[in-house]
Structure formats: structure tokens, C-alpha cells
Amino acid sequence: MSDPLLADLDVIILDYGAGNLRSVVRAVERVGARPEVASEPAALDEADVVILPGVGAAADTMRNLRERALVEPIREYIAADRPFLGVCMGLQALMTVSEEGGEHACLDVLQGRVVRLPAGRKIPHMGWNQVALRRRTPLFEGIPDGSHFYFVHSYYCDMAEPAEVVAVAEYGTDVTAAVERGRLAATQFHPEKSGAYGLRIYGNFLREHACA
Amino acid sequence: MLTKRIIGCFDVDNGRVVKGISFVELRDAGDPVELATLYDHEGIDELVFLDITASHEDRNTVVDMVRRTADRVFIPFTVGGGLRSDDDMMLMLESGADKITINTAAVERPALISEGAQRFGSQCIVVAIDARTESDGSMQVYTHGGRRPTGIDAVEWAREVVERGAGEIMLTSMNTDGHQDGYDIPLTRAVSDAVGVPVIASGGAGNAQHMIDAIAEGNADAVLAASIFHFGTHPIMDVKRQMRAAGIPMRMEQADYDDVL
């Protein structure tokens, strides 16, 4: 099941105590890569690809990243336009500020606020929602527009730069589903829990940067 | 549009699926992991494993099942049965479960809900409620697998568990469970309309129309089914096609992991 192109990639999955890394690790392995789980900043130095997964609350996430001295290394890594994939809280943590449980400064890599989903629907937004592509990028290679991905979140990213939004899901508003800027990509949905197309997201991202 | 979910449920005793399951294509129809893999392939949206093992002294069997499931199944799954502390929850989540579900333990010690929600996030915490509509019309919560009445009103309890941090409610009607004659629509509707979190209807699924009714009339966000899929007489995608034809948004993709990579 190992893909020679991907097997040599140094894929780092950042562990900052958010739990349930196993699904992400297995999904990345399933597409043929050999990821390493790491929590020390030095792991970013040699990485070909960094994946920031995550569930839970924004404040905990930022505190965990600070305690592990990962904040500046992540910012520098992304500023150097090296391949980085954020998932769920790993997307929200990239934003300027999160309103979840007060105001919490985040990594400020992507400009905009993390805000509560609009009232009137069940929260959390939980389940398989249809993802509409705003533009075609390699991340969604081989995935039909309108495919379903698994979401579970109560806050979403209100992006200051709409051009960075590559896909949205309708849930009372156009929820940011995927963003891309250079070699940074991030999804609000969980690709590791989104069946075959979810795995394809990981495969697409890794293949895109294996060639670079 | 957010689709409605069909959730497959397995009762597991000492690592084996109970209730007769007869899939010809399975080498070992009692292996929950093999069944989970098949259901994923057949288009199920989510899975629940309920560990009904009498003794919970030895968790290794369940942990092994959860780990093997996480290795092979790339859709969300929930694990419950005998979880009594946030450390119990942690063990399941670390092993690869996406959510945990608690029932009797939450009634006995409601603080367990908030402890889990604070440590892992509400999205991980599914509170299961077993309820019965009594002859006087009241809706009462039962514990211990539906055997013990609590005197607690089901709608009030649903509101309380959400206040304490439950991210989802799995609602089983003791009146309809096991009859395959349709979900308990009034109960489902009463609870779903009372809370702001998703509600999974459970108990009574016999065909696609029952699921349509639970969603359209009962306002359920998801429907749970055990036995109707277990014999292959109601293929999951057939049920989904009928539900979609009735106007319910459904995910029609099926996971073929070999094909897509």
C-alpha cells in the first residue's frame, strides 16, 4: 500500500495533546505515506509536509501550542511557503482571532475571525455536508464538485480574504470548508472521517508536494 | 446542504457482535470490525458500537476493537457501554473512537457529562437516553438497558444534558425498540424540538419509510438502525435512495478506498 513517491516524504503530524491523532495517522498511511507524530518544534526543520490536526476548543489549542513552543515555528514554517495542511481546529488555529469562549488570539497566519455559526440550526454542525468548490485546485483533484465531507464544529472561519476560500458548505451561511494560499491548505471538515474522497484529499495534498 | 445520517449500530459482547447477523460475504460475521468495514463500504454514514459485556474489568477487548476499526474505517464512529469516568472516555478516544456515548452513568452522576465535554469537547460526548411513554402520557427516562425507571422526564433530561455539554443525543424509545414497526415519532419530536443539538432517533426501524417519518415528522437529525441492515434484506443504498426520493438530503457516495487512491 506504500506509494514510492509518498513513502520518502517526511510527513510530520503535529501532536499538541489534542487527542485522536490515530485517525489522521492511519488516513495518511492509507494513501501511501509514512507519517511521523511529533510535538517538538525541531521536527518542523526537516519536514517536507506538516499536518496540524485537532479537535476541541480554540483556547486549549493555542495554550497547548504555546506550551510546546510551536507558535513561532509554525508561523515561520508557513511564512516560508512550505507545505502545510490544517484540519478542523488546525484550520481555525491559523486565523487571527477566535471568538470561541471569549476572544483568543490565534496564529494570525490567515486573516479573519472564527465566529459562532448562525443561530437557527442545530449546533454543532455535525454530519456529512455538501462541499461546493469556488475554484478548482489540485487539492480536490478527482473529487466531483458537490461531494460530501464530514463536519463537526460550532464555530467557523469568517475569512478577510475571500480569494483564499476554495470551497464552502451551506449551513445557515456559506461556511468556509477549505482554504488555500500558496502551499498552505486547510479544511474545516475532517478528511480522515470523510470516506474515500476524504482520503483523496490527503493523497492529493501529499502528491502535489512530493513533486515540488 | 447537510445530509441526514443513517447510523449503523452493533451490540458487542466480549468482542463479538450479538443479534444474529448473516452476511454471506463475510468470513466472520461476528467480528465487529469486519462488519464495520462492510457497512462503510455499503454507504453507512456513521457507526456506533455498544459494548454490552457484563464485566467491564477488562477493557482490552474493546480497545482492540476500537483500534482495529480506526485502522480500517474512515467514517466517524462512537463507542459506548460501561464508561464511567473521563479516563474511560480518554481510553476510547485515544484508541481511535471519534465520540463516546454514556447513558446510565450520566443519570447516576450528571457531572460526568461536563467533565467529558470540558476535557474532550462537546462534539465527542453523545448522551444516550432510553425513554418510555407511560400510560398517562408522560415520557420517562429509564436506565440499566431500559429496565429501571428513574422518575425523570425525558425532555427535561435532554435539556439538562445539553446544558451540561452533550454535543448530541441518542434517543431510544423503549416502546418501539425491537418491534421494527417504526420509530417513536412523538417522543423524537418532543426531544428534538427541545434541544439545539442533533438528535439521533433510535428504536423501531423496519424500513425506509420509518426513517423518512422519523426525520420528516420526528425532526430527527439522524436515524439509528441495528437489525434492519444485518440481514442484507434492506441494502443501505436502497434505503438511502428511497429517502432521497422522499425529499431528504442524503449522501449517496460509497467508500471504495482502493478505487479512489
Distance from CA of A169 to the nearest CA of B (A): 7
Architecture of domain B5-247: Alpha-Beta Barrel (3.20)
Residue B261 has pLDDT above 80, yes or no: no
pLDDT tens per residue, range B126-140: 999 999 999 999 999
Q: Where is B57: in which H helix or E strand?
A: none
Identify the CATH number of the domain defined by range A4-210: 3.40.50.880
As a whole number, the mean pLDDT across chain B is 92
Q: Are B53 and B80 in contact (CB under 8 A)?
A: no
Residue B25 has pLDDT above 60, yes or no: no
pLDDT score recorded for residue A4? 80
Average pLDDT over residues B99-111: 97
Distance from CA of B179 to the nearest CA of A (A): 27
Residue B227 has pLDDT above 90, yes or no: no
For chain A, the domains span: 4-210
pLDDT score recorded for residue A25? 94
Residue B3 has which C-alpha cell? Answer: 445530509
Q: Which of A88, A100, A153, A157 is catalytic?
A: A88
Residue B105 has pLDDT above 90, yes or no: yes
pLDDT tens per residue, range A137-181: 999 999 999 999 999 999 999 999 999 999 999 999 999 999 999
Chain B residues with CB under 8 Å of A190 CB are 76
Residue A48 has pLDDT above 70, yes or no: yes
Q: CA of A117: how far to CAs of A101, A146, B83, B87, in Å?
A: 13, 21, 31, 30
pLDDT tens per residue, range A88-99: 999 999 999 999
pLDDT score recorded for residue B228? 83
Give the whole-angstrom CA distance, residue B138 versus residue A164. 53
E-strand ranges in B14-135 read 16-17, 46-51, 77-80, 99-102, 125-133
Residue A24 has which C-alpha cell? Answer: 489522521
Higher-scoring residue by pLDDT: B26, B167: B167
DSSP state letters, A122-156? -SSEEEEEEEEESS--GGGTT--TT-EEEEEESEE
Higher-scoring residue by pLDDT: B58, B34: B34
pLDDT score recorded for residue B226? 82
Clarify whether A100 is annotated catalytic: no
Higher-scoring residue by pLDDT: B51, A4: B51
Confidence of residue B187 (pLDDT cuts 50, 70, 90): very high
Put simply, the answer to whether B70 touches A23 (Cβ < 8 Å) is yes
pLDDT score recorded for residue B154? 98
Average pLDDT over residues A71-98: 97
Put simply, the answer to whether B3 touches A26 (Cβ < 8 Å) is no
Which candidate from B4, B90, B121 shows the least CB-CB separation from A55? B121
Distance from CA of B140 to the nearest CA of A (A): 24
Residue B103 has pLDDT above 60, yes or no: yes
Q: Compare all CA atoms of chain B with the CA of A202 and give the residue at the minimum distance.
A: B261
Put simply, the answer to whether B253 touches A203 (Cβ < 8 Å) is no
DSSP 8-state code for residue B156: H
Put simply, the answer to whether A196 touches B93 (Cβ < 8 Å) is no
Give the whole-angstrom CA distance, residue A179 versus residue A110. 9
pLDDT score recorded for residue B27? 56
Give the whole-angstrom CA distance, residue A136 versus residue A101. 35
Clarify whether A125 is annotated catalytic: no
Residue A79 has pLDDT above 90, yes or no: yes
Residue A42 has pLDDT above 60, yes or no: yes
pLDDT score recorded for residue A10? 95
As a whole number, the mean pLDDT across chain A is 94
Q: Which of B45, B51, B86, B130 is catalytic?
A: B130
Residue B22 has pLDDT above 70, yes or no: no
pLDDT tens per residue, range B73-87: 999 999 999 999 999
The answer to whether the complex's ipTM is over 0.90 is yes
For chain B, the domains span: 5-247
Q: Which long-range contacts (CB under 8 A, 24 or more apart) does A1-6 make?
A: A1/A29, A1/A30, A1/A32, A2/A32, A2/A34, A3/A31, A3/A32, A3/A33, A5/A32, A5/A207, A5/A210, A5/A211, A6/A31, A6/A32, A6/A33, A6/A203, A6/A206, A6/A207, A6/A210
Confidence of residue A70 (pLDDT cuts 50, 70, 90): very high
Confidence of residue A117 (pLDDT cuts 50, 70, 90): very high
Give the whole-angstrom CA distance, residue A209 versus residue A83. 7
